[in-house]
Amino acid sequence: MRRTTSLMFMAVLLGVALIGGCASAPGDYSAAESGVELGNFDTNIRPQDDFFSYVNGAWLTTTEIPADRSNYGSFTVLAELSQRRLRTIIEESAAMGQAPGSEGQKVGDFYRSFLDTVAIEARGLAPLRDALAAIAEVGNRNELLQLLADHDINGLQNPLGFFVGQDAKDAENYALYVNQGGLGLPDRDYYFKEEERFQEIRQAYQEYIATLLALAGQDQPKTNAKMILALEKNLAGHHWSRAENRNRDKTYNKRTLAELAAATPAFGWPAYLEAIGAGAVTSVIVRQPSYLDGFNAIYGEVPVADWKVYLTFKLLHGAAPYLSSDFVAARFDFSGRTLQGTAENSPRWKRGVNLVGNILGEAVGKIYVERYFPAEAKTRMVQLVENLKDGFLDKLEGLDWMGAETKTEARAKLHKFNTKIGYPDVWRDYSALTIESGDLIGNVVRANQFGHWRQINRLGGPIDRDEWRMSPQTVNAYYSSTMNEIVFPAAILQPPFFNLAADDAVNYGAIGAVIGHEISHGFDDQGRKSDGNGNLREWWTPQDEAEFERRSDVMVEQYNRYNPIDSLYVNGRLTLGENIGDLGGMLIAHSAYRSSLKGMPAPVLDGLTGDQRFLIGWAQIWRRLYRDDELRRRLVIDSHSPSRYRVNGIVSNMDIFYKAFDVQPGDGMYLPKDERVRIW
């Protein structure tokens, strides 16, 4: 479930699995019937030894990551194409006289307020004057509690994060969730890893905190920066790991208000919930109970004065992108350059487009799909999805390790899958959001408040099954376990993922495998725990569950051996769901592709067989380069494996790869049959 937006643009997704945020520009496929981008190949590398580099090697060695990017690949190229298209749409709105209160007025005025750097520089810190004064006036823990609630409503980071989502065990109703929070570094591990680079990052973070406090004229910035880092490290010591947070059983802990009060007596739950508008709830779903225990002790022990300094920094950090250039530069220097290795900040127009897209995504998305999403693409996708569902059903029926009882439940879940393609049937209503010309910080805060109340107002109401958790111009896709639905925004439905002019083999290896990936998420190590109605419940027999876990553990161990950089390895447990999704998606897509041939042999195009082109289609969409710091960051926080292993790690488990490219013992990609993952 997405927390709509915040000053920091932090999102929380509950029960949602993404294909990934993943190169050259899309090729001219009308001139290449195969859809294979031969110019990107490195034929000095054997496909049997390194398939990822064979397909993408020339591109990898000749492409430079743009200065304002931490990584670059197929996803990035399409995201930038969407960004340029949105710029045109937004600037047209900004240039036209729009009716007050209309979506066009809101889009145009928001964008202009971000681009007006002269006014922003002139105002300096003035837009935060009231917020800083509110922090300064706090004198006791009751007032501190109200301040924390105000920060939550305004979209600022707190030690506790609240959001509204479907109740995972009662998917027909919304529930209030509480999640661990409060950290300014990407993950708890950043506070404890002793490798030199992580020590450098911690020191840079402390200096960044001091810089913001000094720019705002706060007392003792260096001393307070050290205190804030120590406070966050204390919180981090109670955080659950990313892998633990994926476990949908362990993170579902419904507590009554009495139980919450008994577990965390230092925190005034009734007053806080009333302040954020959730005073009527009788229970809260706690994702990390032991974190609440740790937070209770920290909250009660840390002086109110220290909490005020901590919250001052969170305010400054969240607002920094919308303040004067010294704040913008300081935030980018740490968040962009230090954490991700990015050389330059994005041009102002790109950041403005992203801001408007994040907050008014469906307002501009309406125009985007009118201009750039042909009706025939949606028609073709509908057919592809049905073919992929049939492919999964074929795989399911053929499993020799799954019993009849579990198969019956799995079949029922598949038949209840909902599919959304391109854009929403019902567009989001922004009428309650006020955007004012020339008031950038005010616009961001009101947008955060709009998102907060939009969530809170769901409590006690019907499930909004028309909702999309991505805008149409997003280059991605997702599966929602509580909705039991797969969603494919318009922007991903173009080359190299989906090309109406290309041969079926590449399309099945690209968008077909993406569709299969999202279907497979419904049956991965966590998605499989929900039934066809979206409810978290046991529907596997103990024998089938044990066998599934045994087979999945083979994949965990495989990926644990991949060492992309330094002493950092892929976390096979953290990435398990995505790796299962990739392998299942490819197997399903290949089954659907072979069925599409209706018994006829696949044509040979560009000297490549149908199965070879199918596998190449998968490898093409995952070409990507990373800056070293970004790769380190992703290895710690990302549930997706780096692109090389999304290709090589998957095809090395597929028998068709061995046949298509004559892979033999001794080749770099060879895995003995008894070591290959066999789930679907």
Kindly report the CATH number assigned to the domain that includes residue 507. Answer: 3.40.390.10
390 lies in the same domain as 286: no
Residue 501 pLDDT more than 90?
A: no
Encode 187-208: b = buried (16+ Cβ within 10 Å), e = exposed.
Answer: bbbbbebeeeebeebbeebbbb
Q: Are the CB atoms for 151 and 163 separated by under 8 Å?
A: no
Higher pLDDT, 22 or 197: 197
Question: H or E element: which one contains 148?
Answer: helix 141-153
Q: Is the pLDDT of residue 375 over 70?
A: yes
Instruction: State the CB neighbour count (10 A cutoff) for residue 344.
Output: 12
pLDDT > 90 fraction of the chain, expressed in percent and rounded: 93
Does the residue 538 lie in any domain? yes
Structure tokens at 234: 């204390």
pLDDT at 20: 64
Give the lowest-confidence range in 208-217, 495-504, 601-610. 495-504
Do residue 559 and residue 489 come from a single domain? yes
Longest dimension (CA), the chain: 78
- Statement to judge: residues 381 and 500 lie in one domain: yes
Q: Which residues of 562-573 are buried (b: 16+ CB within 10 A; e: fewer)?
A: bebeeebebbbb
Give DSSP secondary structure letters for 294-318.
HHHHHHHHS-HHHHHHHHHHHHHHH
pLDDT reading at 30 higher than 60: no
The pLDDT value recorded for residue 500 is 85
Both 310 and 196 in a single domain? yes
Decide if 618 is inside a domain.
yes
Q: Is the pLDDT of residue 521 over 60?
A: yes
Task: Examine the fold and report which residue of 322, 356, 385 is the final residue of a domain before the chain moves on.
Answer: 322
Q: Residue 114 falls within a domain, yes or no?
A: no
Final residue of a structural domain among 290, 322, 354: 322
- Residue 574 Cα distances to 88, 477, 636, angstroms: 39, 19, 9
* 11 has a pLDDT exceeding 60: no
Residues 237, 306: one domain?
yes
For the chain, percent helix, then strand, then coil, each to nearest 5? 55, 10, 35
Instruction: Name which of 308, 295, 164, 282 is nearest 224 in CA terms.
Output: 308
In this prediction, residue 6 carries a pLDDT of 38
394 and 288 both lie in a single domain: no
Asked if residue 176 belongs to a domain, the reply is: yes
Please provide the distance, in angstroms rounded to a whole number, between the alpha carbons at the two ends of the chain.
28
Residue 13: inside a domain, yes or no?
no
Select from 183, 182, 163, 166 the least CA-distant residue to 174: 166
* DSSP three-state, residue 265: coil
- The amino acid that residue 94 corresponds to is A
The DSSP 8-state label assigned to residue 50 in this structure reads -
Mean pLDDT of the chain: 94
The percent of residues above 70 in pLDDT, for the chain, comes to 96
Is 365 among the domain residues? no
- Residue ranges making up the domain that contains 518: 46-85+376-431+462-675
Do 314 and 244 lie in one domain? The reply is yes
Is 55 part of any domain?
Answer: yes
pLDDT tens string 320-362: 999 999 999 999 999 999 999 999 999 999 999 999 999 999 9
Is 31 a residue whose pLDDT tops 90? no
Q: Amino acid letter at 408?
A: T
CA gap 337, 351 in Å, rounded: 16
Per-residue model confidence (pLDDT) at position 19: 65
The tens digit of pLDDT for each residue in 462-500 reads: 999 999 999 999 999 999 999 999 999 999 999 999 988
Report the distance separating Cα 605 and Cα 503, nearest Å: 9
- What pLDDT does 573 receive? 98
pLDDT at 97: 82
CATH number reported for the structural domain that contains residue 239 in this entry: 1.10.1380.10
Residue closest to 497 by CA, chosen among 480, 474, 481, 519: 474
The total domain count for the chain is 2
Q: Which amino acid is at 249?
A: D
Mean pLDDT of 384-398: 95
**Same structural domain for residues 255 and 309?**
yes
For residue 258, being part of any structural domain is answered with yes
Co-location of 472 and 616 in the same domain = yes
Residue 29: pLDDT band (50, 70, 90) is: very low
Q: Is 50's pLDDT higher than 70?
A: yes
| Number of Cβ atoms within 10 Å of the Cβ of 50 | 19
User: 22-31, 178-187, 595-604, 628-637 — which is least confidently predicted?
Assistant: 22-31
Tell me how many degrees the CA angle 480-486-599 measures, rounded to the nearest 5: 145
Asked if pLDDT for residue 96 goes beyond 80, the answer is: yes
Q: Which of 283, 304, 322 is the last residue of a domain?
A: 322
pTM of the model: 0.94
> Are 169 and 300 in a shared domain?
yes
**Residue 71, SS3?**
strand
Q: Is the pLDDT of residue 12 over 50?
A: no
Mean pLDDT of 605-620: 97
Q: Rg of the chain's alpha carbons, rounded to an integer? A: 25
pLDDT interval class at 18 (50, 70, 90) = low
Which residue type is seen at 612? Q
Are 144 and 287 in the same domain?
A: yes
Residue 407 and residue 541 in one domain: yes
| Mean pLDDT calculated for residue range 407-420 | 98
